[in-house]
């Protein structure tokens, strides 16, 4: 966890943004807030909670972060939920539901006293969603925060999950395409990055060079990088295909950097496919990084001419904002939350196929002026839309509106403000 205080963010987000947060938090001082998710490391949710908790505490809220535990079979079931919510054909059997419910019941035994006493509970994603049913004496407001692209879920799986989330007081989605008909207020809140974290802070060129050299990435030709868990939705094989096409005309290096998340059991299989596809290509660097390699990822992003996030489904894609903040244009899959961040010719390019990605890579690499201009625009775009101050402000506003019973409206999407 970080030890920074809100004051540290004045330089980057402005004094007004920080004083707004303090004003909003005035009447929430002492409120007991609990966030629950399914992993402390790996993936965007953990990345966000890592900064959100200390800053909520700094604002005077009594905030804590709990993680549900589970056996491998549980995470296999919840990965099925995840895949099905993102539209992948998946079957949910009764025995899978049993594993899901039993595992959550065990967690509820441990967490019930904290959750039932809390004033606000934020349950992240499907893994712990059933905890609300398992806390019958709850007294606070409960919010289901869905981080994934739930625009076209597998109906049967959503029907089950819907029966578990409909009793929440509110839900949050990252963009309006993801919202589902639910009998409570829905808020649209896009994720954000911490500009001062190890992942996003400024680095000097020497540190960047050292990291590139450590992983054997030459600096004579442009480097393209995708940072992602090894997950099919991130389409690492599509990235390799695009890169091979590019490489027929332009010399370059490709870095695929990823690690595992403890709640993602499919990573190893996908990593092996990626290694197979890149074997025989010394200019494709497949890195398996530890979960705390934040500065390394920061350096890899900064050491790249272009960052890629060629997902085929994506809730948001924090890696996109991370790259834009570092003034790197992003070639991103034309899906989900990437569309909030990548705008053709301004902050990068949206692509639908490996061929399209190769074409845009070539176009950008042949035009250093565009690279630079998009980089500058991207950073400004993040400053205005995707910094943690905006994110915290929307969470505080949501809590205040729930507390005061004002729930008949939906917040507008940040990037459209």
Residues that bind ligand UDP (CB under 6 A): 43-44, 47, 199, 227-229, 257-259, 289, 294, 297, 316-319, 322
CA atoms of 235 and 332, how far apart (whole Å): 11
Contacts (Cβ under 8 Å, ≥6 apart) of 194 = 2, 50, 51, 200, 388
Closer to ligand UDP at the Cβ: 38 or 401?
Answer: 38
φ, ψ of residue 189 to 5 degrees: the values are -135, 120
Least distance (Å) from ligand UDP to the CB of residue 317?
5
Closer to ligand UDP at the Cβ: 141 or 199?
Answer: 199
Structure tokens at 149: 């692209």
Contacts (Cβ under 8 Å, ≥6 apart) of 240 = 254, 256, 274, 277, 278, 284
Least distance (Å) from ligand UDP to the CB of residue 295?
10
Least distance (Å) from ligand UDP to the CB of residue 89?
20
Cα→Cα distances 135→110, 111, 130, 146, 203, Å:
11, 9, 9, 20, 46
Residue number of the CB atom closest to ligand UDP: 44
Closer to ligand UDP at the Cβ: 59 or 308?
Answer: 308
What DSSP letter does each residue of 146-168 carry, written as one string? --S--SS--HHHHHHHHHHHTTS
Asked if 33 and 66 touch (Cβ cutoff 8 Å), the reply is no
Closer to ligand UDP at the Cβ: 115 or 123?
Answer: 123
Beta bridge partners of 284: 254
Least distance (Å) from ligand UDP to the CB of residue 128?
16
**3-state secondary structure at position 347:** coil
Structure tokens at 286: 């497949």
Rounding to the nearest 10 degrees, give the CA dihedral for residues 126, 130, 135, 136. Answer: 130
Asked if 222 and 305 touch (Cβ cutoff 8 Å), the reply is yes
Asked if 157 and 87 touch (Cβ cutoff 8 Å), the reply is no
Closer to ligand UDP at the Cβ: 141 or 145?
Answer: 145
Closer to ligand UDP at the Cβ: 56 or 148?
Answer: 148
Least distance (Å) from ligand UDP to the CB of residue 322?
6
Closer to ligand UDP at the Cβ: 311 or 401?
Answer: 311
Closer to ligand UDP at the Cβ: 198 or 370?
Answer: 198
């Amino acid at each position: 966890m970080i030890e920074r205080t809100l004051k540290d963010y004045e330089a980057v987000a402005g004094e007004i943004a920080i004083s707004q947060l303090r004003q909003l938090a005035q009447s929430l001082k002492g409120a007991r807030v609990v966030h629950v998710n399914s992993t402390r490391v790996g993936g965007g949710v953990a990345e966000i909670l890592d900064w959100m908790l200390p800053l909520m505490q700094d604002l005077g809220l009594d905030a804590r972060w709990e993680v549900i535990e589970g056996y491998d079979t549980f995470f296999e079931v919840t990965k099925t939920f995840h895949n099905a919510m993102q539209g992948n054909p998946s079957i949910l059997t009764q025995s899978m539901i049993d594993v899901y419910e039993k595992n959550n019941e065990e967690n509820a035994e441990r967490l019930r006293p904290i959750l039932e006493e809390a004033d606000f509970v934020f349950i992240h994603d499907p893994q712990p969603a059933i905890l609300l049913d398992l806390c019958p004496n709850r007294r606070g407001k409960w919010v289901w925060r869905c981080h994934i692209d739930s625009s076209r879920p597998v109906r049967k799986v959503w029907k089950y999950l819907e029966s578990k989330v409909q009793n929440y007081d509110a839900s949050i989605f990252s963009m309006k395409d993801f919202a589902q008909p639910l009998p409570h207020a829905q808020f649209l809140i896009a994720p954000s990055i911490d500009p001062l974290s190890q992942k996003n802070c400024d680095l000097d060129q020497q540190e960047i060079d050292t990291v590139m050299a450590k992983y054997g990435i030459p600096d004579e030709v442009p480097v393209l990088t995708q940072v992602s868990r090894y997950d099919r939705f991130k389409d690492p094989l599509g990235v390799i295909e695009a890169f091979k096409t590019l490489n027929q005309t332009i010399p370059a290096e490709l870095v695929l950097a990823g690690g595992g998340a403890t709640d993602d059991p499919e990573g190893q299989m996908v990593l092996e496919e990626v290694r197979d596809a890149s074997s025989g290509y010394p200019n494709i660097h497949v890195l398996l990084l530890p979960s705390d390699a934040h500065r390394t990822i920061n350096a890899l992003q900064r050491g790249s001419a272009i960052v890629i996030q060629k997902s085929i489904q994506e809730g948001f894609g924090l890696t996109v904002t991370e790259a834009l903040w570092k003034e790197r244009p992003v070639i991103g899959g034309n899906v989900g939350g990437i569309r909030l961040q990548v705008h053709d010719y301004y902050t990068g390019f949206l692509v639908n196929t490996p061929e399209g990605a190769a074409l845009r890579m070539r176009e950008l690499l042949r035009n250093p002026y565009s690279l630079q201009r998009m980089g500058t625009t991207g950073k400004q775009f993040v400053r205005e839309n995707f910094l943690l101050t905006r994110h915290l402000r929307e969470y505080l506003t949501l809590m205040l509106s729930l507390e005061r019973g004002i729930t008949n409206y939906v917040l507008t999407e940040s990037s459209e403000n």
